[in-house]
Amino acid sequence: MSGVMGWLPYAVAGWILLVGLYGLATSRNLVHTVGCLAVAQSSTYVLLLAVGYRSGGTAPVYSDAEPGTPVVDPVVQALVLTDIVVGATVTALLLALVIQIRKRHGTVDPERLTELKG
Amino acid sequence: MPSTVDLPPLAVAVPLFGAVVLAVAGRWLPRLGCDVLAGLWAAADVALLAWLWGATGDGRTVSWVGGWVPRAGHSVGVVLVADRIGSGIALLAALMVLAAVGYAWRYFEEPSGGHAGVFPALLLLFEAGMVGFALTGDLFDAFVFFELMGVVAYALTGYRIEDPRPLHGALAFGVLNSLAAYVTLLGIGLLYARTGELGFAQIGAALDASGKGADALVVCAFVFVLAGPLVKAALVPFHFWLPDAHAVAPSPVCMLLSGVMVELGVYGVARIYWTVFAGPGGIPADAVRPSLLALAVLTSLVGAVMCWQQRHIKRLLAFSTVAHVGLFTAGVAVLEPAALGGTAVYVAAHAGAKGALFALTGVLLDRFGSVDEAGLHGRGRELPVVGALFTVGAVALAGLPPFGTGLGKGLAEESAKSYAPWLPWLFTLVSAVTAAAVLRVALRVWWGAGSASHGHAGDPETSGGGEEPEVRAPRRTLPVVLVAVPALLLAGCLAVGVVPGVAEAFDQAARVFCDRPGYVAAALDPGTAPPVPPGPAPDWWSAGAVLSGLLSTALAVAGAAVAVWAPGRVSARARAAARRCHLAVRPLRGLHTGLIGDYVAWLTVGLAGLLVAVGALR
């Protein structure tokens, strides 16, 4: 890889992380907070896939590829899959907590949850 | 019979399997059956890990899962590497889970969450995550186990979903920890980009072979990878989730969170530094030491000040955990094997003391539906045994000889002062302040000493009143296990200090832990690692350790007495000075807003600061 495609994926990963962090820091709705966490996590997918990319490589499925065909790194793809599973678990659990907060507190605005401080 | 190399995977698999069995069998089994099954399962894992600890000795037990052993130094498999520090903290986790299962046996009168098997199943799942994190030799695996223990911990924290506060605490805990875990994964991606490896030993060896030294990528990867463990360890400014989560989690869960999960964060920092980054291709010790030490000092001071200010007893204990984790990190940060060994002793003994204190606070919640220091004034008189144990826990926290906390603190201090002569004073001061706050609670609640008023109007604070009792039958007789479990935990804390050989074993274990070439050889080229020669035996209860333990206990007693009895008897001038001190720490309390957005902002600031510090010092 050379030129702009060499660094662009990494810049995009960094940008997604920062956008997610900004959203988390300024969020006024807990559903939005959990969504921003998922956005921040997406930066890991982009970074890992960028790391494993090989110029001209194809999907690492060997059943229908000629021997010697360049493929992209299958390890990072396995990592991303695991990462997605982890992310789905976390997002589901946190959203369940938010639903329950809505039921008990009657609000999803973090500014109105004032019981824990000091 | 399994052989030694099968033990590390078994120690992870057994609680995982137990969780599945309980989740399924809980539909039919009665409450007692579930609890007995969970207890047996937890005891089985304790036995396995004790066996692993014994069989590992002063070497390492390496297992390549699925038989993917390395050929010529390369393997695509996943490795578990147990040395005595790793298997020791896994054993501590298993013991604490056993204690929590025993304590929870009679704690929840009505199991919520469907059926009686759910809560113990979650505890066993939590145990699998912690043991896996302690034993893994692979960075990506560490991330997965980190998230496993995280997700289960969020669920356990918010377990009482009928009650509003635990939900709030669990959400803050979840967002902060998962965000940090994703940053860790970014760091793992950067390391994989540089080295093409995922194992601790493999990455370390490849970094050294690359010959590029600590360039920008390695510095970024170092800070990013440590983000997860640092947040888990609740170092300031990454600590905000901890008091919110610990104040609201069910008491048996607090025992696990404060006793061992937070300490696993410190373990993660130490393990990742020594295996991956301690070589010539990593981060120089002169950059790591001051950065970590600054975090540690800040954490212990903030934790101690905030602990003193609390009236919500669980929140007070949570801040005392923050303060102590600062001390543990200081013990690790000097990067000396002897200090690390002392810290390991300190962690083991602290788990006993802190677990007992949380368990005894759970009794208050059970009896009175409150954990508010002011509201409970004098009401503990009907529970003298609980009060006596609470007081013992407080002096154990101060490090009174012969408790293990005093021994660990003394060993860590003796070694750390060669790097920074002022460190022993920090250890003494911080353990004294936190223990004084706990003693103050004991005096007010169980002896009815001093006045019932507390605090100043208009302060940002969490009172402990109006808590939902965690049980629905408040007038039952006090179950014996609710007192027996904390008593056993305190006995364990004492045993760490009085059983000879414990300190020596941990000292040698720390030397093995810091032997990086040995770790790399054991993981990649089995059989070639030379054994680590035993060093000089540590000074068991040196005069300095005894004196420092006595000094912090005396300071704690004096501090508690002043706090309880002085307000009515001192001059107006002293009162004005106290008032000024109080106003000075008020902004610090104001930072703990309970808002997830603020906590994320602090996390970002902390990581940026760490990047700048490590980058400038390398």
pLDDT tens sequence across B480-514: 888 999 999 999 999 999 998 889 999 999 999 99
Lowest pLDDT segment from B183-187, B195-199, B251-255, B460-464: B460-464
A42-90: pLDDT as tens digits: 999 999 999 988 888 888 887 777 777 888 888 899 999 999 999 999 9
Q: Which two tokens stand for residue B606?
A: 């902390």
Any CB–CB contact under 8 A between A31 and chain B? Answer: no
pLDDT, averaged across chain B: 90
Q: Exposed, middle or buried, A14 (CB in 10 Å: 0-12/13-18/19+)? A: middle
What's the confidence (pLDDT) of residue B296? 96
Region of residue B149 (phi > 0: left; psi between -120 and 50: alpha; otherwise: beta): alpha
Q: Does residue B229 surpass a pLDDT of 90?
A: yes
What's the confidence (pLDDT) of residue B312? 92
Average pLDDT over residues B448-468: 65
What's the confidence (pLDDT) of residue B514? 93
What's the confidence (pLDDT) of residue B289? 94
Alpha helices (H) along B26-63:
31-56
Region of residue A29 (phi > 0: left; psi between -120 and 50: alpha; otherwise: beta): beta
What is the spatial distance between Cα B416 and Cα B425, in angstroms, rounded to a whole number?
11
Q: Which two tokens stand for residue B486?
A: 């904390």
Q: How far is B597 from chain A (nearest CA, A)?
A: 4
Nearest CB to B151; choose among A75, A93, A105: A93
Number of helical (H) and strand (E) elements in chain A, helices listed first = 3, 0
What's the confidence (pLDDT) of residue B68? 84
CA B454 to each of CA A48, B286, B312, B375, B378: distance values in angstroms, whole numbers, following the listed order: 53, 45, 11, 9, 14
Q: Do you know the residue count of chain A?
A: 118
Lowest pLDDT segment from B106-115, B203-212, B272-281, B559-568: B106-115
Nearest CA in chain B to A86: B147
Structural contact between residues B488 and B99, judged by C-beta atoms closer than 8 angstroms? yes
The alpha carbon of residue B128 and the mean position of all alpha carbons in its chain are separated, in whole angstroms, by 16
Tell me which residue of B56, B62, B87 sits closest to B75, measured CA to CA.
B62
Nearest CA in chain B to A35: B175
> What residues of chain B lie within 8 A of the CB of A101, using their CB?
164, 167-168, 171
Nearest CB to A43; choose among B186, B310, B459: B186
Tell me which residue of B128, B96, B89, B39 sits closest to B492, measured CA to CA.
B96
Nearest CA in chain B to A104: B164
> What residues of chain A lie within 8 A of the CB of B178, using their CB?
37, 41, 90, 94
Q: Exposed, middle or buried, B490 (CB in 10 Å: 0-12/13-18/19+)? A: buried
Structural contact between residues B467 and B376, judged by C-beta atoms closer than 8 angstroms? no
Structural contact between residues B372 and B444, judged by C-beta atoms closer than 8 angstroms? no
Q: Does residue B457 surpass a pLDDT of 70?
A: no
C-alpha neighbours within 13 Å on the C-beta side of residue B12: 25
Q: Which two tokens stand for residue A17?
A: 């992380």
The alpha carbon of residue B396 and the mean position of all alpha carbons in its chain are separated, in whole angstroms, by 16
Inspect the interface and report whether the beta carbons of A94 and B163 lie closer than 8 Å.
Answer: no
Inspect the interface and report whether the beta carbons of B151 and A76 lie closer than 8 Å.
Answer: no
Nearest CB to A17; choose among B140, B186, B198: B186
A4-112 carries CATH number 2.40.10.10: no
What is the spatial distance between Cα A57 and Cα A55, in angstroms, rounded to a whole number?
5
The alpha carbon of residue B229 and the mean position of all alpha carbons in its chain are separated, in whole angstroms, by 11
Q: Does residue B317 surpass a pLDDT of 70?
A: yes
* Strands of B377-482, DSSP E: none
What is the spatial distance between Cα B608 and Cα B618, in angstroms, rounded to a whole number?
16
Q: Which two tokens stand for residue B470?
A: 């965690």
Q: Which two tokens stand for residue B426?
A: 């920090």
What's the confidence (pLDDT) of residue B175? 95
